[in-house]
Amino acid sequence: MSSLPNFQGKVYQRDTSEEYGAHAYQYATTSEADGTMTPAAIIYVASDDDIIQAIQYAREKDLGIAVRTGGHQYIGSSSTTGNNIQIDLSGREAPDRDSYPYREWSLDEEEGSLTLGVALDVDDVCAIKVQHGVFFPHGECCTVHVGGHMQTGGWSVISPTFGVMIDYLLRFDIILADGSKRTVERDSQDPIDKDLWWACLGGSPGNFGVVTSITLKYLKDEDHPKTRGFKMGWFFKQSTLEQLVQIISEINDDPNGDPDFAMSVMAFGEEYDPDVPSILPETFDNEMMKKYPHLTGVDKFHWVVPTIVVVGSWANSKGADQDDSHVDALFERFRQVPGMLSMKLINKVFPQDKMMDGAQKRPMSEIMKALTFENPREFNMPGKKLAWLGKNTSTMSQKNELGVTFAEWVAKKAHDIESIKGEFKYYGMKIAIQVGMVGGPGLANPPIVTAMGQRDGNYWLTFDVFYDPNVRGTFEKTAEFQHALAADVLSNKLNFWDDGRERRVILGPMVVNDEKPILDELWPVYYDNREVYERLLKIKQKLDPQHVFTPNLFCVGATSCPRLQSQA
């Protein structure tokens, strides 16, 4: 590639070295086709000047820029290939990470707001919230970074009550394709600000500019003194999963349900035991984690038995005077499912993984911290992730067209892989699934509507299957298993969408069957209607006519980008 300008931050140009491979590596690397996440250069930007210089370079050379912060994008579209470059705002290569400009944060008590640099991750954010007794919705994976998260919603364990992270934004700083930097205010009447607000928040992340910091309004723990958190575990059994999911479905279907509850069930195959040598070679993901922990993040805990965890909270949205006499009864329904592990035991085995049985009042900031998933990946393996949002508040608990309840269906699917029989047939494969309530008044009523789709959704399903590539046939079996699972969901025989419209989420894009990751084709499942996507196309054309922020086909209007047309 022609010579790059001098950047203050470190630069790694594509070559065959292990070092380049380590820097190009991100969450989706081993799960997607080889060569799709190999930028011509990876630039760890040190400042706005570096970002602006990268933009100028890309414009001059007619290249695309992929923007990466946490690198968690499900299908790797925060990376790129060919002549395109990637800029990284994580600060992972900064000489002093603590003083990296995009990790700065501050709290403004007068405004009641928190300003966060995009290089902070959910773990950092939780620590700040606990320190100051404040909270707002955000996701549960510790290593997801503010950079992408602030554009993909920030779906949370408190979303049914309080909505998503973007609903709390007051302003954000962004560097545009023309190299200008602006602060976009929530109430700005400037037409460009209005477009940016609408398009960046839930439109298509990284396609409109480089976000450097956000300011959001916080809620205070002290205004919600009766909040309760729930996080309890069971060893995996089909019947246990079925009972727990059925409770979720019944709560979901109850027309008189209290929207302050948000509950979900997760089930995981067993993770490796670091103390027991494996007969299989290391996976590439594991090797990366061992050799380059500062790039990949570190595993904080290991569970060695297939496990089910129920997580949730009661939000006490109306404050001190709100009646909470009914709260314990709902948690008790979960506690009554046989086999619940003792809180004392789990706290002893995983001291950093705080369990909560819902009995005690606890500040929401602490509950949210306790509900985060501490490891950077579910498993250190490639996987095929599927995620949908359902829309059905009346019949999720009833038998569907397949003649089973949703709970029976999901538990059977999980059991197929995790049972002893599954050990033979699906040896080397592991599930990571989550089923739960995420919708409700909080989600449906944003302060300002943005491009983010699916606000009418209520029921969450992620069904991820991870596979050990050292076990022959697991890739093919995973694809086959997931195609069959997707076919059931897409047929809508599970009653997942009462209006029949499939809903996917921009926080976790995926492809099924023969689909290609081309947003210009897949938009109907990510956005609410054609008008939304057409407005995104117009804004993209207006603010980035040269397609600077179009590094791959999972971008708004990418099929009209001459550089990419041969791939479409």
Ligand X SMILES: Cc1cc2nc3c(=O)[nH]c(=O)nc-3n(C[C@H](O)[C@H](O)[C@H](O)COP(=O)(O)OP(=O)(O)OC[C@H]3O[C@@H](n4cnc5c(N)ncnc54)[C@H](O)[C@@H]3O)c2cc1C
Specify the residue, 151 or 238, whose C-beta has the smaller distance to ligand X.
Answer: 151
Tell whether residue 145 is a contact of ligand X (CB under 6 A).
Answer: yes
Indicate which single residue of 153, 229, 297, 557 sits in contact with ligand X (rule: CB under 6 A).
153
If the CB atoms of residues 88 and 408 are measured against ligand X, the closer one turns out to be 88
Contact yes or no for 151/431 (Cβ under 8 A):
no
Shortest distance in whole angstroms from residue 553 CB to ligand X: 13
The two three-digit tokens of residue 490, written as one number: 């897409």
Q: Which stretch binds ligand X (CB under 6 A): 91-99, 124-132, 149-157, 331-339?
A: 149-157
Binding segment toward ligand X, per CB under 6 A, in 65-73, 223-231, 326-334, 559-567: 65-73
By rule CB under 6 A, what count of residues binds ligand X? 32
Q: Does 508 bind ligand X (CB under 6 A)?
A: yes
In angstroms, rounded to a whole number, what is the distance separating the alpha carbons of residues 482 and 494?
16
Q: How far is the CB of 141 from ligand X (least distance, A)?
A: 3
Supply the minimum distance, in Å, between the C-beta of residue 68 and ligand X: 4
Q: What is the DSSP letter of 3?
A: P
**497 strand-pairing partners:** 391
Q: Applying CB under 6 A, which part among 67-75, 125-133, 396-404, 533-541 lies near ligand X? A: 67-75
Select the span of 138-146, 222-230, 236-244, 403-411 touching ligand X (CB under 6 A).
138-146
Site string for ligand X, 187-216 (x = CB under 6 A): ------------------xx---xx-----
What's the first-to-final CA gap in the chain, in angstroms? 24
Nearest Cα residue to 297 out of 141, 98, 68: 141
The answer to the question of residue 168 lying near ligand X (CB under 6 A) is no
List the structure tokens of 476: 């093919």
Residues 70-109 binding ligand X (CB under 6 A) are 70-73, 77-78, 89
C-alpha separations of 495 from 89, 395, 411, 485, 488 in Å: 42, 7, 16, 14, 10
Nearest to 416 by CA among 429, 405, 404: 429
Dihedral sign for Cα 421, 423, 427, 432, please.
Answer: positive
Q: Tell whether residue 147 is a contact of ligand X (CB under 6 A).
A: yes
The answer to whether 118 contacts ligand X (rule: CB under 6 A) is: yes
Cα 344 to Cα 312, 351, 354, 404, 492: the distances in Å are 19, 10, 10, 36, 42
Q: Which residue lies nearer to ligand X by CB, 337 or 435? A: 435
507 binds ligand X (CB under 6 A): yes
1-36 burial code (b ≥16 CB/10 A, e <16): eeebeebebbbbebeeeeebbbbbbbbbbbbbeeeb
Among positions 30, 38, 53, 69, the unique one binding ligand X when judged by CB under 6 A: 69
CB of 109 to ligand X, least distance (A): 27
Minimum CB–partner distance for residue 459 and ligand X (Å): 15
Q: Is 27 in the site for ligand X (CB under 6 A)?
A: yes
Q: How far apart are CA 281 and CA 377, in angstroms?
A: 19
**Distance from C-alpha of 215 to C-alpha of 212, rounded to nearest angstrom:** 11
Q: Find the shortest distance in angstroms from Cβ 144 to ligand X.
A: 4
Q: For 398-480, where are the E strands, in sequence order?
A: 429-437, 459-467
Q: Residue 265: what are its φ and ψ, rounded to 5°?
A: -115, 135
Tokens 């290391």 sit on residue: 282
Residue numbers of the site for ligand X (CB under 6 A)?
Answer: 27, 66-73, 77-78, 89, 118, 139-141, 144-145, 147-149, 151-155, 205-206, 210-211, 507-508
